[in-house]
Every structure is written in structure tokens, then in C-alpha cells.
Amino acid sequence: MFTGAMTALVTPFRAGEVDTRALAALVEAQIAAGIHGLVPCGSTGEAATLTHEEHVAVVREVVRAARGRVPVIAGAGSNSTAEAIRLTRGAEEAGANGALLISPYYNKPTQEGIYRHYAAVAEATRLPLIVYNIPGRTASNITPETMGRLSRVRNIVGVKEASGSLAQAIDTIAAAGPDFAVYAGDDILTLPMMAVGGKGVISVTANVAPREFIELADALLAGDLERGRGVMHRVLPLVNTLMGLEVNPIPVKTALALMGKCAEEFRLPLTCMSAPSRAALEKVLREYDLV
């Protein structure tokens, strides 16, 4: 249903509030570059520090700015099933085309609990749902067997797979079948995951380099592995810098600030980059002619 390169959008802040003007400009720049989809209010969008009202307002603003030109897949997950349902319904009412739901974090539910969580959300909405599996943030892993079960729920259409395991991605593709989309959730694994059958990537780096990830996804969807390898090698130093210096989304939002796209502002407990990390980031951005 959704394919290609989709950007996990940052949420710009200014003076403690969501900066809707900067957000709209980011959306416009992404669409002008040719991005295939936008994903607001995920971990890159600092969703954990947004109020419920801000969360829905950000989704509504992205939908408004996109004007139907690309799908908007709203982050709507929670460790509370009832809260995830509320956020998903809010995204639906705001006009989103789909919802991305992180696996319940901190609770460490069983596989049966994970299945029932997603099934309950699916029952409460008409939106297509994408599961988000990121054990490094949630403390639990969704197994390929559970993903196979979830793939048979009518409106659960895919998974953002960020376990860091290519083997798990392969097993999930096999368990869920060809109509279920597996998306790379780690930028660095875009090439191998799409090479084994993934349908796209939900990318952090695409915030600053959308055209590279569009080219990468287009090449791999067309089966052009040689071209895909070339793009991946070209963008690899930028990916490693944005994902390796400090915890996401600190580097990517700092990069956007250095590019003049938003304020360098975070909500605690996230903080501005350390001086050594910032210097390393600026060096790489200059090498890519981004600043």
C-alpha cells in the first residue's frame, strides 16, 4: 500500500511550542524533493514529549501542508492500548492516510499481549496500520511468528522493522507473505532489507537528504542493485554521522538547524549536542554541501 522512501519527520519547536511554520516548510521541501510519504510524530518527531493535543495538531498540520500530494502516516503508538486507540482515532480525524504504532514499551508484554494490543487498535479504526518494532527502545521484540499473525488482521499492512537484524526481516517477510510490507527502520539496512523483499524505508536521514533516499528506494524497487549500492555507499558517511554521534533525533534536528530549517530546540530529557559531536556533524554536512 505504501512504498518507497518515507521521511520520519522531526518536530520543530520554538520558545517551547511546536513551530508550525517551520513544520510546514519542512513538509514542502520534502514533497518538492519527491518523497514518497511523510511520517510525523514518531520517535524522530519527539512524540514522547508531545501532549495529546500537540500530537494531533502536528498530524493535522502535516496533512494540511501535504494537501494530498503524498500519504501521511501518523505516529500513534503508546504503551497503553487505550491511549494508542485515542491517538490513532485522532490521526484518523486529522486526515492521516495511515498510522505507525510503536510496540508497547516499558510494559514488556508477551507476544500474545503484543498481538492483542495491535488487534484492538485495528478494530477501533479504518486506517491502515504499520507496526513499529524497535526493541532497543521498547525492551521487547515482535517475533516473525507474531508478525505473521498480525499480517492476517485486515488493516495491519506492514511493519517498520528496526530490530537491527536482517535475519529477522527475512523471517518476517516469509511469515507474513508478499502482500505485507516490511520497511527498513534503520537507514543503514535499507539496501539489504529492500534487496530481500522490503518495500521501502522510513528514514531519519531523509530529513536532510531526501533525494538520496528517494533514488535509493526507486533503484531497489526497480531491482537495480548496482545503482542502489552506489547510492548507499555515497550516503553512508552521512547516515553513520546522523545515527551514530548521539541519540536520534539530536543529530538530525541539529543538522536541520545548521541548514536554517528549524530552531535548535529540544524538549528535556533530550539536550543540544555536545561541542565535539557538533563539530563532527558540521564537518560532514560541509562535505555534502548541506551547509
Side chain identity at 142, as an amino acid letter? I
Let me know if 132 is a catalytic residue.
yes
Number of residues that this document lists for the chain: 291
The three state secondary structure string of 237-268 is HHHHHHHHCCCCCHHHHHHHHHCCCCCCCCCC
Phi, psi of 226 (to 5 degrees): -65, -45
Catalytic residue among 106, 108, 115, 160: 160
**In this structure, what C-alpha cell is assigned to residue 4?**
518507497
Q: What CA–CA distance (Å, rounded) separates 121 from 250?
A: 30
Alpha-carbon dihedral of residues 257, 261, 263, 266, nearest 10 degrees? -70
| CA-atom Rg of the chain in angstroms | 18
Let me know if 105 is a catalytic residue.
no
Catalytic residue among 115, 118, 132, 183: 132
Side chain identity at 71, as an amino acid letter? P
Closest by CA position to 73, among listed 84, 86, 59, 85: 59
- All residues at 6 or more sequence positions from 197 whose CB lies less than 8 Å from its CB, including other chains: 170, 173, 178, 182
The neighbour count for residue 268, using CB atoms within 10 Å, is: 6
Beta bridge partners of 102: 132
The catalytic residue positions are 132, 160
